[in-house]
Structure 1
Amino acid sequence: MFKRIVFVALLAASGSAMAAKDLSNIPLEWTPTQSFAEFGAVDLSGIGNVKVQFNGFTDVRKNPALIAENTEKQPVRQVTTRDNVAAFVTQHVKDSFSKAGINVVDNGGDFIVSGEVRDFFVNESDQYVGNVTVYVTLSNASGKVLWQGIAGGGANNFGRSYKADNYYETLSNAVLKLSNSMLNSPGFHSALQSH
């Protein structure tokens, strides 16, 4: 009888552990496994002394809470967050620019970067495939638009299924790639040289 009670208790505990795997309303965490430099060198000629200010990006995705889906089994398992995705992307693009050697300022910038987050998502099937896309606007200090365009970053990751850490790593790497692609965009770079 005692063994049966222990077995039932263990079965209930394992069921609770399975239920705990739900990834609803998880916080966003910055845990890149790649470095900015891995995506290619950035040419700072002509832009090393300019001051770049970031206005907060806005999130224009249809479902701001949804950041990933696991399609390995049915029904599809979703990953959601209550955190502000646009603020997360803005902060880490700013940090990436600063670490790349750009003079990032909180106000009084020669150039103002704003943008719309259009994609921030990981599809997981046999691997984690993440994409982050921002429609970027670069203006001068008086508000004249100098350049607009799409900047994107993608990342692939392998790991155990439906794990928050793997989603964090994939999204963080994709934001790093996005930052690098912005700085390596010929149009964006030329606009920064126009000061």
Structure 2
Amino acid sequence: MLKRFVFVALLAASGSAMASKNLSNIPLVWSPTQSFAEFGAIDLNGIGHVKVQFNGFTDARKDPALIAENHEKDPVRQVTTKDSVAAFLTDHVKETFGKAGINVVDTGGDVVVSGEIRDFFVNETDQYVGNITLYVTLTNATGKVLWQGVAGGGATNFGRSYKADNYYETLSNAVLKLSNSMLNSQGFHNALQVH
């Protein structure tokens, strides 16, 4: 009887351990390991006074919950989130712009930034490789399109396999890179100047 109890207890413990490794419906957590400054200086010449307003980005990905996959073993292990990727990305790009010295406002902007999320994903093999792609539209206050283009951000990370913290860090660093890419885009910068 004791052997059976021990076996059942071990089985329950291993099932619980396996369940803890399932990264389904995890929250999105902001956890950068890099600083925005590491990606290079931002030229604020002529744009520091421009009031920049963000409209919420929209998520155009096929599966809005899927944010990562681990390809180290078969079957492939997926990572999904219960949170809104669009809200997460909008909030943190907006925050990063503000910290970079851009005059970010909630309403009454001289220009309005909107975007369509095309990619927000980490592919894990022997390392974590994250990519974010955003189709950006910049309009003036009356809705006239000043600039449209694709901005991207990527990040690579090492760490223990299939760990939520490593996915968070990789995606957060990719958001910083995306923001830097937008602000260093000549077309985006010029549109801010001529709004």
Fold match, TM over 0.5?
A: yes
The alpha-carbon deviation at position 2 of structure 1 amounts to 4.1
Greater shift after overlay, 117-126 or 12-21? Answer: 12-21
Does residue 94 of structure 2 align to residue 123 of structure 1?
Answer: no
Q: How does 1:35-184 map to 2 (within 5 A)?
A: 35-184=35-184
Q: Distance in 1 between matches of 2:38 and 2:187?
A: 22
Where in structure 1 do 4 or more consecutive aligned residues deviate above 6 Å? none
Q: Distance in 2 between matches of 1:45 and 1:22?
A: 48
Q: Distance in 2 between matches of 1:177 and 1:111?
A: 22
5+ residue gaps, structure 2: none
Q: Distance in 2 between matches of 1:82 and 1:4?
A: 38
Root mean square deviation of aligned Cα: 1.2
Q: Percent of pairs identical after alignment?
A: 83
Q: Distance in 2 between matches of 1:128 and 1:117?
A: 20
1:65-94 deviations in Å (ceiling 9; x for gaps): 110000100110001112110111000000
State the TM-score, normalizing by the size of structure 2.
0.96
Give the count of matched residue pairs: 195
Greater shift after overlay, 115-124 or 8-17? Answer: 8-17
The alpha-carbon deviation at position 52 of structure 1 amounts to 0.1
Q: Distance in 1 between matches of 2:11 and 2:85?
A: 38
Q: Distance in 1 between matches of 2:138 and 2:5?
A: 66
The alpha-carbon deviation at position 47 of structure 1 amounts to 0.4
Q: Secondary structure at the match of 1:10?
A: helix
Counterpart of 2:109, as a letter, is G
The alpha-carbon deviation at position 5 of structure 1 amounts to 3.6
Counterpart of 2:62, as a letter, is K
Q: Distance in 2 between matches of 1:99 and 1:171?
A: 18
5+ residue gaps, structure 1: none
Q: Distance in 1 between matches of 2:19 and 2:191?
A: 51
The alpha-carbon deviation at position 19 of structure 1 amounts to 2.2
Q: Distance in 1 between matches of 2:15 and 2:120?
A: 32
The alpha-carbon deviation at position 129 of structure 1 amounts to 0.2
The alpha-carbon deviation at position 107 of structure 1 amounts to 0.5
The alpha-carbon deviation at position 158 of structure 1 amounts to 0.5
Q: Secondary structure at the match of 1:177?
A: helix
Q: Distance in 2 between matches of 1:109 and 1:20?
A: 45
